[in-house]
A and B are shown apart, each in its own frame.
Chain A
């Protein structure tokens, strides 16, 4: 529900500052604004349109300087025009009060009028305050006053005629169909259903495109198969890598062992070196010892001439002989040489030593025994004696030629030779042991070479294994990347598939919504258009065609052949059972049919909104006027009727009575400068500062300020009451 409370017009064309209030009386809902032709009614209605819809809502006015700029403003002046409309909007949640203000500066440089610094504000009443609706201002304004319905809610007879194809003689079927179709769809809300349905179709297409652009399930299966293959290859490569790594570790261990063994061998080689040194040292010592021995032997040899040699050689012989002789001596052997001596001693009976060797005496006997023993051993003793003698001879010869120094020297040499022999023996044994060790070391060197060769082979194998392992690692990493990539692609594909399914589901929902809205639209359109058509015919027959001017028995709305998908509607007329072309309708019939259409639509919209109608009753008979006024103001068909009419339009007494009963507010506009034509084109302010006087005289009243001369005849007849205390509003 929308109801206008008031309008204030400041510096707008003819108006300096005027405020009109609209009837809020449910028993007298009509607001009547009357005035002679060119008294400012249309200008007031334009102020309304400008406030609600802006400059684009104003029709071009031929010869007018500007539809908004005050006519009295002089060039160089920049008055600010302002129109304020207060209205209330009701809903299930209650009633809200709003104040819409549009203002603009205009300037005139003599050649053209500039329009600028426009401001629009929508305020909602909040207690005693007004709060600006900044964010939802445009939305609310459009919601309250739909631009496409502008010409319908602010209608005049001429505008109503356009619904039936224009004025007589200039009939235009296409214009009639366009306006009829637009009005029906807009007023019944069908256009919104149609747009919603079309938009739903658009959304469905969008979702289907989304579904189509994303990957298919088959593509996902291919990816899964590819992933399985890659996964298998990855596992194989990983196992291969593990094997190679194990082999590498094994070879590393083997190599370590080989290197350890090699190190040990090298250590042994170092030991061999020490042995060699020892061996060389021992050999050197042995050689030295042998050299010394040779030197001693040479020295000994040098000491031994023939005699000394003999002596030296015989001394042992002598010693041996002496050893042999000793037992003989112990047995009492007396050398033969001595045997000659002893008998002589016995013969003398005296020993050399003075002992008496008397016969029978003991010493004598002893000697005699000895001589006896010696004689028994005479053979031996002679030979020994000879040998002894010979030895003595030689010994004497040797001793006789050998001095003490030589002997000592020789003995020293012998002694040294005796000392050096064990040294040589010991060194020889050491040399032999070291040689054995060296021989063994020689075997170790061979093994070392083998070990080095083995180590090198192991190193090569290890290098090969490392290369293969690295290559395998590269393979594994590549496969791993590919597996990850495939998994990501599958994840994306799965996600896409989900989105695809969701998009398909959305497309189905959109299709259902489209179907539902479309079905509802078809029904509502069909039924409501039929309802409008019936209402239109009813209004036409009961309200308008009561006049004999009407040549039509039935009027209505019907769909026509569609242009593409969108249906169109047209007004049709019947005469009897025959269709009569609308083009044949005269001006009065056109106005009547157009008004019937407007009123029918206003009724069928079931909205309680104002209907601001200018000159709706113009050129109609009194009966028709009465029925139209009655139709507009009785009940609640029309939310808030606001009628603009001329004095002539309202002259009928019955109409006057009806207006008195139904008009809660009446304003009379009186022009002070009827200069011909629309008052907007009136003579500028130089001649008259106030172009229009507005008073609150009712339909049957007149005052000195209104309608200038008044109607003395009717006053005299008592049909008009003269007021002296009217309120002059402008």
Chain B
């Protein structure tokens, strides 16, 4: 039975993101979405270590790639 705390989490995560420097215009929103997605993935797949690591990596690498593109670097 899931919790109903998602809205509150989003609110608090958005607040927390305000303190993170924006590397590109969508970075803050990407962080919020990724953080919520990772929490949600943890709730649903915590016992599937490899899978959940992949989910986390997908979130992280997606943002990292966007950051690199924004910096003018590019990615592999």
Binding site for B on A (CB under 8 A): 2, 139, 142-146, 149, 153, 187-190, 192-193, 195-196, 199-200, 202-203, 207, 495, 498-499, 501-502, 505-506, 508-510, 512-513, 515-521, 523-524, 528, 605-609
Contact = CB atoms under 8 A, between A and B. Distances in A.
A513 B3 contact: no
A607 B2 contact: yes
A190 to B, nearest CB: 8
Closest 6 CB pairs of A and B: A606-B4, A519-B16, A520-B12, A189-B3, A505-B64, A189-B5
Contacts of B42: 192, 195-196, 199
Contacts of A523: 12, 15-16
Contact of B16 (A502, A505, A516, A608): A516
With most chain A CB atoms within 10 A of its CB, the pick from B46, B56, B60 is B60
25 contacts: A139-B45, A146-B2, A149-B1, A188-B3, A189-B3, A192-B39, A196-B38, A196-B39, A200-B38, A203-B53, A499-B76, A505-B64, A508-B67, A509-B34, A509-B67, A510-B60, A512-B31, A513-B59, A515-B20, A517-B16, A521-B12, A524-B8, A524-B9, A528-B5, A528-B8
Interface in B49-72: 52-53, 56-57, 59-61, 63-65, 67-68
Interface string B26-40: 000001101100111
A187 B8 CA distance: 14
B41 to A, nearest CB: 8
Given A189-B9, A505-B68, A516-B31, 7 more contacts: A143-B44, A196-B41, A199-B38, A199-B42, A199-B56, A508-B64, A515-B20
A502 B64 contact: yes
B16 A515 contact: yes
B1 A609 contact: yes
Contact of B61 (A145, A195, A506): A506
B68 A513 contact: no
Contacts of B4: 605-608
A498 B76 contact: yes
Nearest to B57: A203
B1 to A, nearest CB: 4
B53 A189 contact: no
Given A193-B9, A519-B16, A513 B52 contact: no
B3, B9, B34, B59 — which one has the most chain A CB atoms within 10 A of its CB? B3
A613 to B, nearest CB: 15
A685 to B, nearest CB: 36
A273 B8 CA distance: 119
B2 A143 contact: yes
A516 B53 contact: no
A502 B76 contact: yes
Contacts of B68: 501-502, 505
Nearest to B19: A519
A512 B46 contact: no
Nearest to B11: A520
Contacts of B12: 519-521, 523-524
Contacts of A518: 16
A520 B53 contact: no
Interface of B: 1-6, 8-9, 12-13, 15-17, 19-20, 31-32, 34-35, 38-46, 52-53, 56-57, 59-61, 63-65, 67-68, 73-76
A521 B8 CA distance: 10
B76 A506 contact: no
Contact of B13 (A506, A516, A605): A516
A2 B60 contact: no
A501 B71 CA distance: 12
Contacts of A499: 76
B38 A502 contact: no
Contacts of A193: 9, 39
B35 to A, nearest CB: 5
B64 A517 contact: no
Nearest to A144: B1
Nearest to A520: B12
Contacts of A517: 13, 16, 35, 38-39
B5 A512 contact: no
B26 to A, nearest CB: 13
Contacts of B67: 505, 508-509
Given A146-B1, A607-B4, A516 B35 contact: yes
Contacts of A508: 64, 67
B69 to A, nearest CB: 11
B64 A200 contact: no
Nearest to B1: A609
B2 to A, nearest CB: 6
Contacts of A2: 1
A369 B13 CA distance: 183
A606 B44 contact: no
Given A146-B1, A512-B20, A513-B35, A199 B52 contact: yes
B56 A203 contact: yes
Contacts of A608: 4
Contacts of B19: 515, 519
Contact of B17 (A139, A498, A516): A516
A660 B34 CA distance: 48
Contacts of A528: 5, 8
B30 to A, nearest CB: 9
B32 to A, nearest CB: 8
Among A202, A508, A517, A528, max chain B CB count under 10 A is at A517
A187 B16 contact: no
A52 to B, nearest CB: 10
A203 B6 CA distance: 23
A139 B44 CA distance: 7
A165 B14 CA distance: 37
Contacts of A153: 1
A195 B46 contact: yes
Given A195-B46, A502-B68, A509-B60, A520 B5 contact: no
A520 B3 contact: no
Contacts of B45: 139
- Give the residue among A149, A199, A607, A608 with the most B Cβ atoms within 10 A: A199
A513 B44 contact: no
B20 A145 contact: no
Most buried by A among B8, B40, B74: B8
A609 B2 CA distance: 9
A516 B64 CA distance: 16
